[in-house]
Amino acid sequence: MNDLVELNNKNEPVIKTFDIFSGFGYKTHSDLKRVITRNKEKFERQGLLVLQSLKPVKGSKGGRPEESFMLTERQFTLLVMLAKNNKESIDLKEKIVNEFFRMKSELMRIASNQTNEQWIEQRQSGKQSRRIETDVIKEFINYAKSQGGSDKGCDMYYSNISKMENKHLFFV
């Protein structure tokens, strides 16, 4: 469930209509989008109505790209009032509302930490540790390239090593 609500480029929680249309009881995504477009003025009064092109589903042969609305919490609340209701959709709506509140609480906690001196000191210490770590990875990449590794493959080492490390340290 935590995957439904995500942060946009302004660090605001948003949800894609494409991810929720079936849970709301609509057969197609365009049916749910129609609810929004019929009430476009109301949605725009709650904030900028953002339409995002989605990447084609993996393994598909392409076709017209799907477009999904990225709804803010206020816009989602309006959609809840306008959309179909059945037991499954009500349960989904409740879970999404809880996820919006959880994400907002987490964002407020992060914002308050950024003014906490102890947190700032720990952050600086973490940055220094990461710099040391990336220096070691850089040495490893240079060694791998000197042993005949491809430039493209070796350049992914920063990302791959960091992902593996974070996964095994329970950061992800």
Distance, in Å, from the CA atom of 131 to the CA atom of 129, rounded to the nearest integer, reads 5
Where are the chain's structural domains?
A: 5-113, 126-168
Backbone angles phi, psi at 109, to 5 degrees: -65, -45
In contact, 13 and 103? CB cutoff 8 Å: yes
Whether the pLDDT of residue 35 is over 60: the answer is: yes
Whether the model clears a pTM of 0.75, i.e. scores above it, the answer is: no
Distance, in Å, from the CA atom of 44 to the CA atom of 37, rounded to the nearest integer, reads 10
- The SS3 call for residue 52 is strand
Whether the pLDDT of residue 3 is over 80: the answer is: no
**64-91 tens-digit pLDDT:** 778 899 999 999 999 998 888 888 888 8
